[in-house]
Structure 1
Amino acid sequence: MKTDLTDTTASKINAALIDGRRATGAPAVGMVLTLVIVTDEENAYDALKTANDASREHPSRTLVVIRRHTSHGPRPWSGSRLDAEVLLGAEGETVVLRTYGEAADHADSVVLPLLLPDAPVVVWWPVAAPDDPVKDPLGALAQRRITDLYTAERPLEVLRTRALSYAPGDTDLAWTRLTLWRSMLAAAMDQAREKVTSAAVEAEADNPSAELLARWLGARLGVPVDRVVTGGPFVTAVRLGTEHGEIVVDRPAGPLATLTLPGQPPRTLALKVRPTSELIAEELRRLDADEMYATALQGEAVKVNV
């Protein structure tokens, strides 16, 4: 069910949500959180599709905030204006908010009345995230703030900025992309039972996931970590040096990786590149502070070897 509202208010949007639930017989009690997506018109469709896929696991109210310039649209608008699309479905509720003028400058005042009562709030910036998410007016409303260094023009420079401004609740999809890597490396070290004396992470030169993984390994293992540049895509290999040989996870391309342990034959394991919907769903499973992300983010920068 879809309802379009032009030049509207938050109270009218709430009324449309209530009317829609009554018409469809869909109660709001099954929704577990409010997901606020802050994006532009160009990226709104993909972000909303991603959120809808993730909401199959986490039924939620999704608020998409699109800041528009007053010159956009069928007619110019010099004052404040709020347009909305209210959509109700099996996975939850979605409100697309297009804000103009003062409404765009104070989007938090538009979003606040639309948050689910007594439910966690997660804010996700698919693109153009603020340097200090917790001090952003919308970010300040949230228990969890999700950014993505892969969308930054200079991701390693932004990473350094985020390390300085980190607050509990911050996380980044460049870190979430490493979950399978970290799990596989931990399992490999448990099997090998060798003391790691050196480490190397192979990826493209400006890959933020590789930088975070290298910092995390350095902090956890207490060893020097080399960053080796390859053609990618993404992280292509991790090599952990031990007294009896290397522990190697190698994934040059595709969904499969080769795991090699000292004194054992190589074996093939699944290590796919996950879609963004799976990454968002993972982040919505836990809303507490991600201490391992903080450790990686604030770890020692790694020198890149070309």
Structure 2
Amino acid sequence: MIIDLPRTSISEINKRLVQSRKDFGVITLGRVLTLVIDATDADVEDAITTANVASREHPCRIIVIAPHDGDEGTLDAELRVGGDAGASEVVVLRPSRVQAEHGDTLVMPLLLPDVPIVAWWPAAVPTDPGASSIGRMASRRITDSKGEADPVAVLRHLAEHYQAGDTDLAWTRVTRWRALLAAALEQVADQRVTKARLHGDTGSPSILLLGAWLQGTLGCEFEATYADDVRGLQSIVLETPSGDIGIARPDGHNATLTQPGQPEHTIALPARTLGDCLAEELRRLDDDPVYGEALRRWAGADSASVSIA
């Protein structure tokens, strides 16, 4: 059920939320968080669909801020409940861009009481998420540098302004790669890694973050290469005295694992959907210091030893 509220106010939205619970049996019991989405310059329907997928694992109230370019004093809204809201209730706010600059004022009366607040920017990553109007309210701030025109510059800004609670979905996309590498390295007699070689899509922030993590964890050199016709991370090779450890995923679905002295193994490693990545980040509402360390390491002096071709 979608309820349109043109030229409305926050107080009227709250009244309709209460009424919808009575009319449609929507309850807030079991809601574990409030997810606030700044959908500026993003595809609003894609963002809502992704949040609805994640909400089936993490029931929540979803508040979407989707600015319009019209009358500065006009606030339109819509409520989505039932089948149009996944396991949540969705409030879509359509303020003017001037009103959207004060997103905290718009959102505050709509927050669920006594649950954490998570902020997500599916596009238009702010220079300093923790200092933004909705970022100041949130205990977790989720950005996505992958879709930015200059993801390298975005990562540098995120590193400069990093605060506990920040994370980026470019990091989340390589969670399974990190787990596979750690498991494979444990089976090698001499675990010293001299060089890590990564290959993937041009400008991939995931490759930069993963390389910085490997560099910091293993104390090795890091070489990144790119190709315009590749989608996502395609391969990783760790050079060790015992031989190379490699993971290659040329088709984006199945990976081949090679280890010294062992036959090749085929592993299911499909590219992760945006909903999967968002759901993973909503599982933990504390800080992710490993991400913070990888981000700062890449952006800091240690990144001088990174070779990018």
Q: With structure 1 as the length reference, what TM-score do the two structures score?
A: 0.93
Query: One-letter code of the match for 2:78?
Result: E
Per the alignment, residue 47 of structure 1 pairs with: 47
Total equivalences in the alignment? 299
The one of 115, 122, 125 aligned to 1:129? 125
Per the alignment, residue 59 of structure 1 pairs with: 59
Q: Tell me the SS of whatever aligns to 1:142.
A: coil
Runs of 4+ in 1 over 6 A off after TM superposition: none
Structure 1 residue 65 displacement after superposition: 0.2
The one of 212, 225, 229 aligned to 2:209? 212
The one of 256, 259, 262 aligned to 2:257? 259
Contact 2:101 2:133 in 1 (8 A): no
Contact 1:226 1:304 in 2 (8 A): yes
Query: One-letter code of the match for 1:185?
Result: L
Query: One-letter code of the match for 1:81?
Result: T
Structure 1 residue 102 displacement after superposition: 4.3
User: Structure 1: where are the runs of 5+ without partners?
Assistant: 71-76
CA RMSD of aligned residues (A): 1.5
Q: Tell me the SS of whatever aligns to 1:81.
A: coil
Contact 1:259 1:268 in 2 (8 A): yes
Per the alignment, residue 141 of structure 1 pairs with: 137
1 CA distance for matches of 2:187 and 2:13? 56
Per the alignment, residue 79 of structure 2 pairs with: 86
Mean alpha-carbon deviation: is it higher for 295-304 or for 262-271?
Answer: 295-304
Query: One-letter code of the match for 2:111?
Result: L
Residue 269 in structure 1 maps to residue 272 in structure 2: no
Query: One-letter code of the match for 2:197?
Result: A
1 CA distance for matches of 2:186 and 2:54? 32
Query: One-letter code of the match for 2:272?
Result: R
Query: One-letter code of the match for 2:209?
Result: L
Identical aligned pairs, as a percentage?
A: 44
Q: Tell me the SS of whatever aligns to 1:191.
A: coil
Query: One-letter code of the match for 1:186?
Result: A
Describe the superposition over 1:12-64 as per-residue Cα deviations: whole angstroms up to 9, x where unpaired: 11111111111122221111111111114760011101111111111110011
Per the alignment, residue 148 of structure 2 pairs with: 152
Structure 1 residue 197 displacement after superposition: 2.4
After TM superposition, list the pairs within 5 Å mapping 1:29-44 onto structure 2.
29-40=29-40, 43-44=43-44
Query: One-letter code of the match for 1:239?
Result: V
Structure 1 residue 105 displacement after superposition: 2.8
Describe the superposition over 1:198-247 as per-residue Cα deviations: whole angstroms up to 9, x where unpaired: 21111234111000010000000011111133442211111111112101
Per the alignment, residue 157 of structure 2 pairs with: 161
Per the alignment, residue 3 of structure 2 pairs with: 3
1 CA distance for matches of 2:12 and 2:198? 53
Contact 1:39 1:65 in 2 (8 A): yes
Q: Tell me the SS of whatever aligns to 1:140.
A: coil
Change (3 A) 1:190 1:287: same
Contact 1:80 1:101 in 2 (8 A): no
2 CA distance for matches of 1:80 and 1:191? 63
1 CA distance for matches of 2:37 and 2:91? 10
Describe the superposition over 1:237-286 as per-residue Cα deviations: whole angstroms up to 9, x where unpaired: 11111112101111122311111111111111111101101111111000
User: Structure 2: where are the runs of 5+ without partners?
Assistant: none
Change (3 A) 1:16 1:189: same
1 CA distance for matches of 2:308 and 2:11? 56
Per the alignment, residue 73 of structure 1 pairs with: none
Describe the superposition over 1:44-99 as per-residue Cα deviations: whole angstroms up to 9, x where unpaired: 011101111111111110011011112xxxxxx3x422111011126111011000
2 CA distance for matches of 1:50 and 1:69? 25
Contact 1:66 1:98 in 2 (8 A): yes
The one of 92, 98, 108 aligned to 2:94? 98
Per the alignment, residue 74 of structure 1 pairs with: none
Per the alignment, residue 16 of structure 1 pairs with: 16
Change (3 A) 1:261 1:3: same
Q: Tell me the SS of whatever aligns to 2:233.
A: coil
The one of 240, 243, 246 aligned to 1:245? 243
Structure 1 residue 141 displacement after superposition: 0.9
2 CA distance for matches of 1:13 and 1:229? 48
Q: With structure 2 as the length reference, what TM-score do the two structures score?
A: 0.92
2 CA distance for matches of 1:7 and 1:102? 16
